[in-house]
Chain A
Amino acid sequence: MIHRYEFLLALAVGLFALGLLGVMVRRNLLVVVMSLELMLNAVVLSFVAAAAHTQTLHGVAMTFFIYVAATCEIALAMALLVLLVRRNGTLDLATSQELKG
């Protein structure tokens, strides 16, 4: 039977990989941002699992910090996203490729 801690870590890795894949391959801006959030939550999950496993509060404290940062980030990201959509009229990431060599 697999241990709870290892299961949670494996789940975190799986979520992180899923989020990364979304960031790399999806062309819908909204989905990319959601994938980013998924990666962040995978990390939070690993912290929580570690905190429960070691019976300390460090991981829990870290979780709160990450959520504060993530809230700020999502507020900024949504604002940028709205401006981009207004400018381009689409959510397609391929239309924002002007800085090429």
Chain B
Amino acid sequence: MTSLSLIPALPLLGFLVNGLLGKRLPHAAVAVIACLLPALAFVLTLGAFATLDATGQPLTDTLFTWAATGSFHVDAALYFDQVTAVMCLVVTGIGTLIHVYSIGYMHGDAGYARYFAYMNLFLFFMLVLVLGNNLVVMFVGWEGVGLASYLLIGFWFQDPAKTAAGLKAFIVNRIGDTGFLLAMFLLWYYAGTLDFQAVNAYFGSTPPAAGVMTTIGVLLLIGACGKSAQIPLHVWLPDAMAGPTPVSALIHAATMVTAGVYLLSRLSGLFVAAPDAMTIVAWLGGLTALVGATMGVTQYNLKKVLAYSTMSQIGLMVMACGLGAFSVGMFHLYTHAFFKACLFLGAGAVLHALAGEEDMRRMGGLARRMPFTFGVFLLATLALCGLPPFAGFFSKDEILWSAYASTNGSVALWLVGTAASFLTAFYMFRAIFMTFFGASRVDASLAHHIHEPPASMSVVLAILAFGSVVAGFIGLPQWWRELLGVTAPFYDFLDPVLGHTPLRADVAHSTEGMLMTVAVLVALPGIALAWLRYGRTPVQASAAGSNNPLRQLVSEGYYFDAFYDKVVVRPLGWLSATFLARNVEAPLTAVTLLQPAHAGARVTRLLARLQTGGLQAYVIYALIGLAIVLSLGACNG
């Protein structure tokens, strides 16, 4: 057991200890175990990162041969290269911070130990997902985070709506998982292996027909869609806000939803050989970025605004992957983890102060009462809106630049991304104005209760806000690099695995400066519009929005839920209740359960007759047995 396998093992240990013994331990012990083990995992990850950075050689650790039949061979093996390093650092680093935050946030909850056990379980599976050396090990983590997500969304299981939200996330994820599995079958059929390196090498050098490549790419994309909440499988993400807020920060913002982006980046060698699939990936990502942003505009629930913003930002990352700009996608993933975690935890601080109130129409004026929370929330928002020099600016700008300049890119795609940026600035500042500015619309019973978060929470917020400000400096755009004469350590680090974005020959680097200016300039009117609409005029506590059909369409999430309900859920329910229950379940039960049971009972009754209880009958049986044995002996000489 090397330190590499210890990285996922530590959170697993935390899960086992807290899960089995947590109820008997004092809360302080539970919290220390739950935070210390992920923190140790983070330290180990740092060590592995240092080794990797020094040698440039990926670390591997083969635990055991998992399955070997014929030509099918799968090892339970871990692999730590540059992409894994980024993911692992984000997962353990941000994960540990959110655990620390949870100490204060979950204080006094009846399920304290259960909560931390689930959180550690999630970290374990997420680390298995990113550390797996082949698709099978990754799939274990992939399913595992789905499970942990289900457990955490439905954490307050006494509320049927929250349990239903957990179930929805699980089921929608299953659809994506099916795509992932089918892609795995195809990969094995063609490449004969499921190791990432071998798969990338095989499809990079001797790709099968274009149709096959596109099919594999689309199936992988379906898998990524499920986990990363891309259209049309995004419907679980807004509902997933039913869980405790740190869960939303950890799972539905910083780590789990990035699994899809990680999958696309991990198999970048394959995707590069499938140009059609790449185009689909890019456009789907762009579409999700735009649609998610529009849905964020109409929400009144603070956490749902952030949920749609997550969906939109992940869309941008997927778009970057589709453009061949995998390292840029990873960069946005990394910066996004900071500011989205900060936003969610900031929202958590607001909810904490307002006793769980999530409706922005019943907030307002909180900047005066909670200046610290407002400060960190504002910094993270500026980062999310992509204003310089905050972290989000560098990553988002680089994505937009790739959308314009990469060989796969186009002006249309750039426009989609830019429109999403504009809307992002608008809805985020709408949320800020509604929550923190204007007159207070807080319930009188809650008003006296408003307070800044406790130290364990505010320290985490401060660290994340700091990250939101400075995290971007390690990946400056090329235009800036040339201007300042510096390097971009982030891109250099990922270069051996993910390579550079393939740029069109006819684009000049000076264009990048111009596009950058445009990107910043569209954010400003977004903010201004939000000020005009929600900052200057007071918001009504009962504001319900107009009955404008377009607005109705958007605020209902483009009727995706209604559509699935009508087309999938209800017909299936009807089919089950009418046809399946009577004509399939009943006969099936009869054939598989009842009839064998009856047959067994009949044989038993027959055999029971032999047991008469009479001594003499048994003597006869013994004689018959003896006769058989003797005659057999005589026959065999």
Interface on A for B, CB 8 Å cutoff? 20, 23-25, 32, 93-94, 96-101
Q: Tell yes or no: B613 within 8 A of A by CB.
A: yes
Do residues A97 and B612 form an inter-chain contact, with CB atoms below 8 A? yes
Chain A to chain B contacts (Cβ below 8 Å), 15 pairs: A23-B619, A24-B623, A25-B616, A32-B615, A93-B614, A93-B615, A94-B614, A97-B612, A99-B611, A100-B611, A100-B612, A100-B613, A101-B609, A101-B611, A101-B613
Residues of B contacting A: mostly = helix
Give the residue name and chain of the B residue nearest to A100 (CB).
B613
Q: Tell yes or no: B1 within 8 A of A by CB.
A: no
Contacting residues, chain B, for A25 (C-beta < 8 A) = 616
Contacting residues, chain B, for A99 (C-beta < 8 A) = 611, 613
Do residues B620 and A101 form an inter-chain contact, with CB atoms below 8 A? no
Known contacts A20-B623, A32-B615, A101-B610, then 16 further A-B pairs from the complex at CB < 8 Å, ordered by chain A residue? A23-B619, A24-B620, A24-B623, A93-B615, A94-B614, A96-B613, A96-B615, A97-B614, A99-B611, A99-B613, A100-B611, A100-B612, A100-B613, A100-B614, A101-B608, A101-B613
State A96–B612 Cα separation when bound (angstroms). Answer: 11
**What is the minimal beta-carbon distance from A12 to any residue of chain B, in angstroms?**
18
Interface size, B (range): 10 to 19
Q: Which residues of chain B (263-317) have a CB below 8 Å from chain A?
A: none
Kindly supply a per-residue 1/0 record for chain B positions 479-496, scoring 1 wherever the CB is within 8 Å of any chain A CB and 0 otherwise: 000000000000000000
Contacting residues, chain A, for B615 (C-beta < 8 A) = 32, 93, 96
Q: Which residues of chain B (59-106) have a CB below 8 Å from chain A?
A: none
Q: Tell yes or no: B607 within 8 A of A by CB.
A: yes
State A44–B637 Cα separation when bound (angstroms). Answer: 28
Interface on B for A, CB 8 Å cutoff? 607-616, 619-620, 623
Do residues A23 and B609 form an inter-chain contact, with CB atoms below 8 A? no
Do residues B611 and A23 form an inter-chain contact, with CB atoms below 8 A? no
Give the residue name and chain of the B residue nearest to A29 (CB).
B615
Do residues A24 and B611 form an inter-chain contact, with CB atoms below 8 A? no
**What is the minimal beta-carbon distance from B603 to any residue of chain A, in angstroms?**
13
State A24–B606 Cα separation when bound (angstroms). Answer: 23
**What is the minimal beta-carbon distance from A37 to any residue of chain B, in angstroms?**
15
Contacting residues, chain A, for B608 (C-beta < 8 A) = 101
Contacting residues, chain B, for A100 (C-beta < 8 A) = 611-614
**What is the minimal beta-carbon distance from A45 to any residue of chain B, in angstroms?**
21
Interface centre among A32, A93, A97 (most CB of B within 10 A): A97
Q: 5 nearest interchain CB pairs?
A: A101-B611, A100-B613, A101-B608, A97-B613, A99-B613
Contacting residues, chain A, for B614 (C-beta < 8 A) = 93-94, 97, 100
Do residues A23 and B607 form an inter-chain contact, with CB atoms below 8 A? no
Q: A20, A23, A24, A98: which contacts B613 (Cβ < 8 A)?
A: A98
**What is the minimal beta-carbon distance from A95 to any residue of chain B, in angstroms?**
11
Contacting residues, chain A, for B623 (C-beta < 8 A) = 20, 24
Interface centre among B609, B614, B623 (most CB of A within 10 A): B614
Do residues A93 and B613 form an inter-chain contact, with CB atoms below 8 A? no
**What is the minimal beta-carbon distance from B600 to any residue of chain A, in angstroms?**
15
Contacting residues, chain B, for A20 (C-beta < 8 A) = 623
State A13–B509 Cα separation when bound (angstroms). Answer: 115
State A97–B615 Cα separation when bound (angstroms). Answer: 8
Interface centre among B611, B612, B616, B623 (most CB of A within 10 A): B616
Give the residue name and chain of the B residue nearest to A98 (CB).
B613
**What is the minimal beta-carbon distance from B305 to any residue of chain A, in angstroms?**
72
Contacting residues, chain B, for A23 (C-beta < 8 A) = 616, 619
**What is the minimal beta-carbon distance from B492 to any residue of chain A, in angstroms?**
81
State A99–B614 Cα separation when bound (angstroms). Answer: 8
Contacting residues, chain A, for B612 (C-beta < 8 A) = 97, 100
State A98–B611 Cα separation when bound (angstroms). Answer: 11
